[in-house]
Amino acid sequence: MKKFHKSSLLTSTVIAGMAFASPAFAQDADDDTGPVEQVSTDVDAQGEVLQGSDPIVITGTRIARPNVESASPVTVVGEEAIAQVGTTRVEDLVNSLPQVTPGQTAFVANGATGTATVDLRGLGTARTLVLVNGRRLQPGDPFLPAADLNQIPASLVSRVEVLTGGASSTYGADAVAGVVNFIMDTDFEGVQLDATYGVYQHDNRNDESFNGRSIREALDARGYEYPRGNVVDGDTFDAQLTIGAGFDDGRGNVVGYVGYRRIGSILQGNRDYSACAINTAGRCGGSFNSPNATVVDPTFGGFFFGVADGSDDFSGFGKPGGPPYNYAPVNFFQRPDVRWTAGAFANYEISDAAEAYAEFMFMDDRSDAQIAESGTFFGEVYNLSCDSPLLTAAQGDALCAAIDGQAGAGDTAVDRVVPILIGKRNVEGGGRNADLRHTGYRAVAGVRGDITERFSYDMSAQYGTTIYSNFYTNDFSFSRLRDAIQAVEVNGQVVCADPIARANGCVPYNPFQGQGLVNDPRNGVTQGALNYVLTPGLQKGETEEWVATGYITGDLFNIVADEPVSAVVGAEYRQEILALDSDVAFASGDLAGQGGPSPSVSGEFDVKDVFAEILVPIITDVPGVNRLALEAGYRYSDYSTGATTDTYKLLAEYSPIPEVKFRGGYNRAVRAANILELFSPQALGLWSGTDPCSGPTPEFTAAQCANTGVTAGQYGSIAPSPADQYNQIGGGNPNVNPEKADTITAGVVIEGGSILPGFVATVDYFDIEVEDAISGIGAETILRQCALTGDALFCSLVQRDPISGSLWAGQNGFIVNTQQNIGGITTEGIDVGVSYNRGLGAGRLNLDLQGSYLMEYAANSGIPVAGGDAIVDCAGYVGSFCGFPQPEWRHTFRAAYNFDSGVGLSFRWRHIGSVELDQFINDPDRAFSGTPDANGNIDAHNYFDASVNFDVTDEFGFRVGVNNILDKSPPLVPSAYGTDNANTWAGTYDPVGRFLFVSGTLRF
């Protein structure tokens, strides 16, 4: 298994602690989770806005509004709901929302960036904007220029507002799918210490099955070891100290914080369901890069030998039917991580007309991404002498005999030199490890105030940077292997054949004599050889973002007596800079386990924006019309890359009575490509899936495979990748055009009023269409459409190895899958929110349901595919084409009861609907029956969480809780069907078992 450079599965395949919120003092806090924008601090016991409260600003607009309900659908998660689930990672909380598809998480090791990202509606992280107090959070990684949620100071989060209806005219064109806005408690006063400790616990008694075979049956069939019984691991400790104080008679306030988080590792070998990599047959797969070398000819037409136990065994370890190497146990399931955070928020009223404010945030995060050992990976052809001292006499004779007489092989009886490919796993050196470090700084300074009684202003400047490093160890060097495998005997010593390499420290590397360290290179791998062929790699990079924003807002005139027409007009300048420096090992592709070169990249662009918004109340407080209002916005953007874009919105609100409001609107967004989409070098990497022209009985016919470059002699003899990973060339494209997105929303808000106080229900329809989407078509899509249609556009992107026909062995076979403007992406559905918050008996009851029904999630390649049009609807599907599971229905239901005595109970139900495998998306004979089966379908999953909090004193409280109470295992999914880690979709389903936590808060 090479390293899989995985971008967002969606965008690469066409479809494109919060525990530190106070767990105690629940009886003093309103629970503001729910579908209505409860964002004012001036609320009564039922959460209703008090008369005379100041206007407030809601996510999605810069206009201060007199009420708490937006014309756009906004979901709010309050601090009490955050605390009740005990999570120490922000992404875990966000990913539990039904509107979110997972991005980078802590459960990604192979292809990890070390960051945590959010992906609204499954439209990709590049189309989701993350804000802190309404201002941008800078890009967090040079490989993935999206905000890193690890930078969020957890204990200061007052609430999280999620707008999923498009907000490009307000915040910028990259808010296509919406925004996630983290609102901080910048007025905190006092001293507070928060701490959480949690562990994962799992009973290894897995009974999940795939293709009629349980994982334990598959493991037993291979003779692989796996854990049994109870395991406790992956412990997490998180602590944060917050200090806030007012000064100068209340004119100023400053809040400072410092935090520490440590997360323990979990290996895939610690869970029975991830102890091997399953294949589509339900068996444990693996890699032909075995601990004992597998040697084949360059056509992959014959296995010469493989040493099973150190003896000369030419029957062939690694031959078809033989056990492949089980690489899974070494991989991290959960990456270990250590994070420090610190920062401050301050404001000071200079005068009635000017308030200065400032924000500073610091983060240093280090995470280890360990994956299976490196190997030679059949990456290069070695012309090996049959008389090499690294071979026994029998091995040398067998090699020459096997090749003698083959066409084009030469006369081996004369030269005794054989071209071979070698698959040898570096079990002697241990797993590959990426030490990933991100150090982020974010600073904001601004001034705001009143110009007149009717108009106010806000001007700010901000700078954010993230410094990145990746120190990669335990990977083979192709160039050093090239020298170390060519050996001769000199004066009774086995040395490297090339005298120049010898002078540079070359030590012979012998993969042919079994596994384990030895003292003599004649007998196998020596420590000196490892020291020579293992080469570290180093990458350093930085992302920078400069933003300057200024706007004026105010009341223009009145159409109705009780509410004026309000407007905003402003300008913004933003510059983004990205630089990645790779050392020679990374840039040249010399590291065998990286899947290809990772060249240096740099680029920058700036954009100048002007924007405006207006809110027009048309009718208020007349029979049949409690309120009718229109809201409009416009933004013009001028990019230094030459692109100019127009984004705009038109929204409407109509309330026939105070308890009912209809809302809806239209948003147009035009997004220009980001730095990586424009400038990242085109380089060789990997994609996960299947080659339908491989194996002895290929899925496709000889004629179809011929479209992809398979010769008649190769058909039926192309070896499939045992790890289901194949080569692709990915990278940027400076010629891509901006993409366009249209968002339509329509919904209704119903409040209980005096009949049912505290009740609110929302139903919102959404329809988002992205045209000319900036994305790769998808490697497997290209391959299959070439085979099925013979279309020159697809087939020109398929390059098979001319000798073997392979797309994975060596580096001469690959799919070209660079960024371009594809046809588009469409998603359509209905969001449902129901909440009830009311005093009941000796306490307060809170009920909340957030659900999303997905009607369509479709990719349009812009090119008709075999048997139909260009559109494939992924609603209800999952797989290597559709990416993460897209169930038709998903919801989170939460019930909480807080006693007046200071004891609180909370229960949460997370439901993820069933999905079918996308390979059978147009095959009605393989429709999902409701249970997992050999077709790769996944049944519905339900998770139940609970917690209890105790207010011991006014100064101290604590909470205990359990997530995934029933210890439900994730579904088994072969890597050929997609997956993001460990035989499952770890970002969607709870991947490692039950989570138990205790958290406490001490206030001074």
Which structural domain range is residue 187 located in?
18-268+334-370+437-471+540-676+739-775+820-1003
The verdict on 716 and 845 lying in the same domain is no
The verdict on 783 and 766 lying in the same domain is no
Residue 124, domain member (yes or no): yes
* CA–CA dist 129, 548 (Å, integer): 17
The verdict on 716 and 753 lying in the same domain is no
The verdict on 648 and 732 lying in the same domain is no
One-letter-per-residue 3-state SS of 944-987: EEEEEEEECCCCEEEEEEEECCCCCCCCCCCHHHCCCECCECCC
- The reported pLDDT for the residue numbered 412 is 53
- The reported pLDDT for the residue numbered 612 is 96
* Tokens linked to 476: 């083979």
Residue 885, domain member (yes or no): yes
Residue 288 Cα to chain centre, angstroms: 29
Determine contact, residues 43/56, Cβ cutoff 8 Å. no
What single letter denotes the amino acid at residue 445?
A: A
* Tokens linked to 848: 């909340």
Domain boundary among 816, 835, 869: 816
The verdict on 614 and 555 lying in the same domain is yes
Give the number of domains in the chain. Answer: 2
* Tokens linked to 866: 């075999």
* CA–CA dist 95, 19 (Å, integer): 15
Count CB-CB contacts under 10 A for residue 323: 18
Distance between first and last Cα of the chain: 53
* Tokens linked to 511: 């993969």
Among all chains, which residue has been given the structure tokens 């100048």? 608
The verdict on 727 and 588 lying in the same domain is no
What single letter denotes the amino acid at residue 684?
A: L
- The reported pLDDT for the residue numbered 736 is 86
Determine contact, residues 339/88, Cβ cutoff 8 Å. no
The verdict on 668 and 732 lying in the same domain is no
Domain boundary among 764, 796, 816: 816
* Tokens linked to 800: 């098979």
CATH no. for residue 766? 2.40.170.20
The verdict on 901 and 759 lying in the same domain is yes
Closest CA to 318 of 290, 339, 299, 344: 290
Residue 381, domain member (yes or no): no
Would you mind telling me the total number of residues written for the chain in this entry? 1004
The verdict on 791 and 724 lying in the same domain is yes
Please list the alpha-helical segments (H only) found in 790-873.
Answer: 792-795
Residue 276, domain member (yes or no): no
Q: Please tell me the pTM assigned to this model.
A: 0.88
Residue 564 Cα to chain centre, angstroms: 44
Question: Which residues touch 811 (CB under 8 Å, ≥6 apart)?
Answer: 379, 589, 596, 684, 727
One-letter-per-residue 3-state SS of 658-714: CCEEEEEEEEEEEECCCHHHHHCCCEEEEEECCCCCCCCCCCCCHHHHHHCCCCCCC
Answer positive or negative: Cα dihedral of 512, 516, 517, 520: negative
Determine contact, residues 231/268, Cβ cutoff 8 Å. no
- The reported pLDDT for the residue numbered 4 is 44
Domain boundary among 790, 816, 842: 816
* CA–CA dist 88, 197 (Å, integer): 9
* CA–CA dist 929, 933 (Å, integer): 9
The verdict on 597 and 691 lying in the same domain is no
Residue 232, domain member (yes or no): yes
Cα-based angle 851, 853, 858 (whole degrees, multiple of 5) = 135
Residue 840, domain member (yes or no): yes
Determine contact, residues 573/606, Cβ cutoff 8 Å. yes
Among all chains, which residue has been given the structure tokens 């990669």? 472
The verdict on 113 and 211 lying in the same domain is yes
SS3 category, 587: helix
Determine contact, residues 275/982, Cβ cutoff 8 Å. no
The verdict on 804 and 874 lying in the same domain is no
What single letter denotes the amino acid at residue 143?
A: F
Buried b (16+ CB within 10 A) or exposed e, 595-623: bbbbbebebebebebebbbbbbbbebeee
The H or E element spanning position 158 is: strand 157-163
Closest CA to 769 of 797, 750, 795, 741: 741
Closest CA to 29 of 43, 15, 17, 14: 43
* CA–CA dist 683, 696 (Å, integer): 31
Residue 649, domain member (yes or no): yes
- The reported pLDDT for the residue numbered 89 is 83
φ, ψ of residue 503 in degrees (nearest 5): -65, -25
φ, ψ of residue 640 in degrees (nearest 5): -70, -15
One-letter-per-residue 3-state SS of 498-567: CHHHHHCCCCCCCCCCCCCEECCHHHCEEHHHHHHHECCEEEEEEEEEEEEEEEEEEEEEEEECCEEEEE
- The reported pLDDT for the residue numbered 364 is 97
- The reported pLDDT for the residue numbered 774 is 87
Q: Which segments in the chain show pLDDT lower than 50?
A: 4-54, 66-68, 307-322, 407-411, 864-868, 926-932
Residue 861, domain member (yes or no): yes
